[in-house]
Amino acid sequence: MTNLFGHSVRSELLLLYVVEAIACFVAVYAILSWGIVQGVPADHGGTVAFAAAFALCSGIISGASGLYQPEAWQRARRLLAGATVAALLLLLLARLILMVVAPGQFGNAPWGSLTEVLLASAAAILLTRLGFAAAARSGFLKHRLAVVHGPEGPLAPEAEAAGDSPRHDPFEVALAIPAGGALAEALAPERLRARRIWAVVAADPASVPAAVRRRCEAAGMPVFSAAEFRERRLSRVDFEHLPEDWLATSGPRDSLLDAAARRGLDLAASLSLVLLTLPVLLLTALAIKLDSPGPVFYRQERVGRGGRVFTLLKFRSMTVDAEAGGALWASRQDPRVTRVGRLIRLTRIDEIPQVLNVLRGDMALVGPRPERPCFVEQLGRIIPHYNDRACVKPGITGWAQVNYPYGASVEDARMKLAYDLYYIRRRSLFLDLLILVATVRVVLFQEGAR
């Protein structure tokens, strides 16, 4: 795991992105420089700029298409769908990059030449993936752990909890050390290096003396408690063991610059989204009006930052009497959903009007999903730290939304809270951008929609 701006990123995926970007750059630069692409004159400066921009963006497109998800490579249909979406997005992106980076050189390049660029980059990415698959099968990409067991018995990282099959599990226990004993000798840096240990995981952090911990960390092998390791690996928090005052010690600390940058991103992205989707919004409003009686928009009270209640705006996707009997969570194949409502819920079009809440300052693009006051009151009594979500603005999308499907039960709310508190503890613009890229995948492949 690599810590980037407070967020733990799997090292093998980061390495894969870097190697793919380099391979893509080399492939695109080579076919343009050698004159293989017809209709595009070779100019060194423009070629380098285009190849570099295309290579860097190809990884982002792959992420938005779900091609960095391990499960995508386990199902042929999902892989084909992701590759098709990535190809179409890269084709459009290539044209845009050409127009911006080198309009004089590439501005009038035929679509056929862009297809050749796309094929070259696809070949480079495929070869890279095959190489990484071979490296993974050989165990070269595994993170080897030294595990210090607690008095209650063995401690073992759970592959199932991370959603990994044993084949794709990035961790393996290479050294198991029982509780007590001569830890200083067992965790000697030279011994750990000989076993190619990446990190030490201790069931009880107090069992590792401070001097031993410092020696391990100085040698580049961090020492984690079991809870810290699970949080880094699963990207969610074990909120059951959070201290009551955790917000005061490890809560969000936005500087004025961070707050201004985040607000600027919210405004720019919201306005762009409205302009880009305006024809879709108009057609959706007309379809809702023709499909069922009632207003086009649905207004509902939600709880925002600091517990303040605001009015959330969405396209109406249910019948007007959907909650005549009181507030209910949505269910699969919910009979209250209209025909048009089912479509716009699957494609998340019903969520777009919330950009008005973002522009108004009630919400952000990224954050915990705002919940209804009655549910907040109910869940706050049952789930510890549930009300801590309100320390930041709620968002249209969030870490829980891209990692966990739609929740319609108390147990789902508990799991989503684990992801929301992870986001709050490690919030940064980098994590916000990762969430926005992952949101594209969730929308395109209708993950968790109902």
Cβ neighbours around 12 below 10 Å, total: 19
The DSSP annotation for 51-70 comes to HHHHHHHHHHHHHHTTTTSG
Using DSSP's 3-state secondary structure scheme, residue 419 falls into helix
pLDDT tens-digit series, residues 410-432: 888 999 999 999 999 999 888 99
**174: which 2 tokens?**
């290479």
Per-residue pLDDT of the chain (450 residues; tens, 9 = 90+): 777 777 888 888 888 899 999 999 998 888 877 765 555 545 667 778 888 888 888 888 988 888 888 766 667 777 788 888 888 888 887 777 777 765 655 555 565 667 778 888 888 888 888 888 888 778 788 888 988 886 555 555 543 334 444 455 788 888 888 766 677 788 888 888 888 899 999 887 778 888 888 898 898 888 988 888 888 888 999 888 888 888 887 777 777 888 888 899 999 999 999 999 999 999 999 999 999 898 999 999 999 999 999 999 999 998 887 776 666 666 666 778 899 989 998 888 999 999 999 999 999 999 999 999 999 999 999 999 999 999 999 999 999 999 987 767 888 899 999 999 999 999 988 899 999 999 998 888 877 655
pLDDT of residue 168: 59
pTM of the entire predicted model: 0.86
**Alpha-carbon gap, residue 52 to 22, rounded angstroms:** 9
Q: Structure tokens of 10?
A: 């799997």
The radius of gyration computed from the CA coordinates of the chain, to the nearest angstrom, equals 25
Greatest Cα pair distance in the chain: 76
Bridge partners, 176 (sequence order): 147
| Res 333: pLDDT | 67
Rounded-to-integer distance, Cα 81 and Cα 69, Å: 13
Rounded CA gap, 222 and 224, in Å? 6
pLDDT at res. 162: 40
**Structure confidence at residue 366 (pLDDT):** 95
Residue 257: the pLDDT is 85
CA dist 66 to 242, 252, 301, 441, 445, Å? 32, 29, 33, 6, 9
Beta carbons of 60 and 87 less than 8 angstroms apart: no
Q: Give the integer Cα–Cα distance in Å for 221 and 212.
A: 11
Domain ranges of the chain: 2-137, 143-234, 256-444
For residue 4, report the phi and psi dihedrals to the nearest 5 degrees. -115, 110
Q: How far apart are CA 322 and CA 328, in angstroms?
A: 9
Residue 414 dihedral angles phi and psi, to the nearest 5°: -65, -45
Those residues whose C-beta lies under 8 Å from the C-beta of residue 405, and which sit 6 or more positions away, are 447, 448
Predicted local distance difference test score (pLDDT) of residue 364: 95
Long-range contacts of the stretch 410-418 (C-beta < 8 A, 24+):
410/379, 410/382, 410/383, 413/375, 413/379, 413/383, 413/386, 414/383, 415/236, 416/369, 417/239, 417/383, 417/385, 417/386, 417/389, 418/236, 418/237, 418/238, 418/239
Query: Residue 86, class by beta-carbon neighbours within 10 Å (0-12 exposed, 13-18 middle, 19+ buried)?
Result: buried
9 membership: H or E segment, kind and range: strand 7-9
Contact 207, 178 (CB under 8 A): no
Q: What is the pLDDT of residue 160?
A: 36
Region class of 83: left (phi > 0), else alpha (psi between -120 and 50), else beta: alpha
Which letter does DSSP use for residue 369 in this model?
A: P
Topology of 143-234 in CATH?
Answer: Rossmann fold (3.40.50)
Of the CA atoms within 13 Å of residue 24, those in its CB half-sphere come to 29
Q: What is the pLDDT of residue 152?
A: 55
DSSP 137-184: HTTTTPEEEEEE-BTTB-----TGGGT--TTT--EEEEEEE-SSS-HH
